[in-house]
Amino acid sequence: MTQPTQSSSRSDINLDQTTKTEECKENISNVQRVWTSLLAGATAGGLAKTVIAPLDRTKINFQISQKPYSAKAAVVFLINSFQKEGLLSLWRGNSATMARIVPYAAIQFTAHEQWKRILQVENPETAVPVKRLMAGSLAGVTSQGLTYPLDLVRARMAVTLKSEYKTLRQMILRIYKDEGFLAFYRGFTPTMLGVIPYAGTSFFTYDTLKHLVAEYSHYTSEIPGMTTALSLLCGAVAGVVGQTSSYPLDIVRRRMQTAAIKNRHYQTVTSTIVKIYKCRI
């Protein structure tokens, strides 16, 4: 009698595990799914943003500056910030980031699961690609729309000194007093235009790569830590694709968000794009 190969045995085991996972998902109520999605999204978003906070602050400063970006210039900015204001200055604005990113990531993660359920695209094998893109885009619009004012406050804290605005509360009160309530939504249009391709392509790419990894997991199932490493790689690639697709609009929104502080005038998306192009910044 022919004995089954080791590879086919592993494939059967992986198939059984996938089937059990899908059965567990079906047994979880939608309320339970919402709560677990909120917790997972909030935790992942908070940890990720805290780790890259110094680089994120550096990015925002170059986005609104006339200085050309280079790796050397980025390092110089980090060193100067450290020498002038101390190590914690590299995380300046991170409290505003946490106030925004925790609810943002929680809402986005949960909204994505719910939009997939509504659009019936929970299974990557049978889902229409356009609907999968829609689910990601709608999740991004939902989360960004609900947390946008905190994104604006975070951007302003990232480009100001501690001596100007010491706390998140002080920044919020100053914006409201000097510019009015609508100032909290400055740059909202390019943000919405940018989040559609960003969230759509990033979620689409991640789901697609995750499905491919699961399909060929029998090649890596016996390598310790490989599953986790591949999941991180899928997330990294998805992030690069999403950020690249929306980066020009990200620059536009940062210019509009910080215009009042830098004494510049960026009123509309079109005029901001024209000014950036003319200045060759």
Summarize pLDDT for 73-103 with one digit per residue, the tens: 889 989 988 888 888 888 887 877 788 888 9
The proportion of the chain whose per-residue pLDDT surpasses 90, expressed as a percent, equals: 14
The proportion of the chain whose per-residue pLDDT surpasses 70, expressed as a percent, equals: 85
Least confident range from 51-55, 109-113, 191-195, 261-265: namely: 261-265
Q: Which string of DSSP letters, residue by residue, matches 157-174?
A: HHTS-TTT--SHHHHHHH
Q: What are phi and psi of 123, to 5 degrees?
A: -105, 110
Q: Name which residue leads in pLDDT, 227 or 243.
A: 243
- Give the pLDDT of residue 188: 92
Give the contacts of 91 (CB within 8 A, at least 6 positions apart).
Answer: 50, 53, 54, 57
pLDDT single digits (tens) 6-32: 444 444 444 455 444 555 555 677 778
Alpha carbon of 257 to those of 88, 100, 157, 167, 190: distances in Å? 24, 15, 11, 18, 10
Cβ neighbourhood burial of 175 (10 Å; 0-12, 13-18, 19+): buried
Give the contacts of 254 (CB within 8 A, at least 6 positions apart).
Answer: 60, 63, 64, 155, 187
pLDDT single digits (tens) 165-200: 778 888 899 899 988 999 899 889 998 999 999 999
Helix, strand, coil tally for the chain in percent (to 5): 80, 0, 20
Q: Which string of DSSP letters, residue by residue, matches 65-92?
A: SSSPP-HHHHHHHHHHHHHHH-GGGGGT
Q: Name which residue leads in pLDDT, 185 or 5.
A: 185
Mapping DSSP onto H, E and C, the string for 220-278 reads CCCCCCHHHHHHHHHHHHHHHHHHHHHHHHHHHHHHHHCCCCCCCCCCCHHHHHHHHHH
Amino acid at 211: H
Question: Please, are residues 158 and 93 in contact by the beta-carbon 8 Å criterion?
Answer: yes
Question: Please, are residues 144 and 162 in contact by the beta-carbon 8 Å criterion?
Answer: no
CA dist 251 and 266 (Å) reads 12
